[in-house]
Amino acid sequence: MRISEHVYLVGSEQFGISHPLDCSCYLLDGGSALGLIDTGLGLGVDDILANIKAHGFDLQKLTHILITHAHAGHWGGALELRKHSNAQIWVHEFGADAMANIADDPGIQLNIKFRRYPAGFIPSPCPPDRTLSDGDSITIGNIDVRAILTQGHTKDSVCYLFNDGNKRGLFTGDVVFYGGKLGLLNLEGFSMEDYRRDIRKLAELKIDMLLPGHGVFMLSRGQNHLKRAIDKLSDFIMPETFFETNELMWDKDYLRLMSD
Ligand SMILES: [Zn+2]
């Protein structure tokens, strides 16, 4: 699904274009090279590959897979996608261990315990090829992408800032969603203190497009959604969590009905 001059949605639960356990996966068209932002859990790789090809892209031009954070729903397809492309897999340095050693990942273990994965499924471990630090720039063809470490949802959460023609976009992973909702979790690595501190890094970006890891994306006025998130984290009242209201993602009945 083409959503702007240089961005395509190629994987997503909510838009029904890949597996119901996939996050939103975006393809960034840099002309001579392509980037994929997040890969889904791994069960929708065939759909993602087909969606990329359906837009006429050559998979051999896919040189970068940028992971927003090391939760398996965002990187689990990386190993398989790398086999079908020339991509190197990038993640913030704090996420590298989680992608390589899934036995210790509390999120994966809880998803297995609560039967959110199909029976017998385990994400394929995937040590990244490259690691990022806060402020790093990555060049994908004719597009420069800047990594902004925005801790809170996890210790390794990165937002990726880029220019798309005369628009400015931000891939936010699970940091900020539509309406300024936040990725609050009861999980190791999450920190309200980190969130309060780092959300301010997003205050002056002047983005048009807000491209989150789940649900609705915005093609204009994206900064307003960042502002609401910053305002929420400036008050003492507990903000809304995106996940509480995202019943499609977490409701077991939905998965049983829709995954087959
Ligand atoms: Zn997450």
Express each pLDDT in 65-77 by its tens digit. 999 999 999 999 9
Q: Is 15 exposed, middle or buried (0-12, 13-18, 19+ CB in 10 A)?
A: middle
Order of strands, sheet of 62-66, starting from the edge strand that comes earlier in the sequence: 7-11, 25-29, 34-37, 62-66, 88-92, 130-132
Tell how far the Cα of 153 is from the centroid of ligand 1, in angstroms.
7
Tell how far the Cα of 23 is from the centroid of ligand 1, in angstroms.
9
Residue 14 has a pLDDT of 87
Tell how far the Cα of 34 is from the centroid of ligand 1, in angstroms.
24
Tell how far the Cα of 74 is from the centroid of ligand 1, in angstroms.
7
Mean pLDDT of 227-232: 95
Terminal C-alpha separation, the chain: 23
Q: pLDDT tens across 160-197, in order?
A: 999 999 999 999 999 999 999 999 999 999 999 999 99
Least confident of 172-186, 197-211, 220-234, 245-259: 245-259
Q: What is the CA radius of gyration of the chain?
A: 17
pLDDT over 70 (residue 249): no
Q: pLDDT tens across 29-67, in order?
A: 999 999 999 999 999 999 999 999 999 999 999 999 999
Tokens linked to 62:
């896919």
pLDDT over 60 (residue 247): no
pLDDT over 90 (residue 246): no
pLDDT over 70 (residue 244): no
For residue 90, the SS3 value is strand
Order of strands, sheet of 137-140, starting from the edge strand that comes earlier in the sequence: 137-140, 143-149, 158-164, 167-173, 209-212
Tell how far the Cα of 4 is from the centroid of ligand 1, in angstroms.
25
29 φ, ψ to 5°? -95, 105
Tell how far the Cα of 204 is from the centroid of ligand 1, in angstroms.
24
Tell how far the Cα of 29 is from the centroid of ligand 1, in angstroms.
24
Phi-psi region of 42 (alpha: psi -120 to 50; beta: other; left: phi over 0): left
Tell how far the Cα of 33 is from the centroid of ligand 1, in angstroms.
27
Tell how far the Cα of 242 is from the centroid of ligand 1, in angstroms.
11
- pLDDT-above-90 percentage for the chain: 86
Tell how far the Cα of 185 is from the centroid of ligand 1, in angstroms.
9
Residue 149 near residue 88, CB atoms below 8 Å:
no
**Ion ligand 1: residues, Cβ under 5 Å:** 71, 174
Domain ranges of the chain: 7-258
Residue 55 has a pLDDT of 97
Tell how far the Cα of 190 is from the centroid of ligand 1, in angstroms.
10
Tell how far the Cα of 32 is from the centroid of ligand 1, in angstroms.
30
- Interatomic CA distance for residues 68 and 66, integer angstroms: 6
Asked if CATH classification 3.60.15.10 holds for the domain at 7-258, the reply, yes or no, is yes
pLDDT over 90 (residue 242): no
pLDDT over 70 (residue 17): yes
Tokens linked to 69:
């954070």
Phi-psi region of 116 (alpha: psi -120 to 50; beta: other; left: phi over 0): alpha
- Interatomic CA distance for residues 104 and 98, integer angstroms: 8
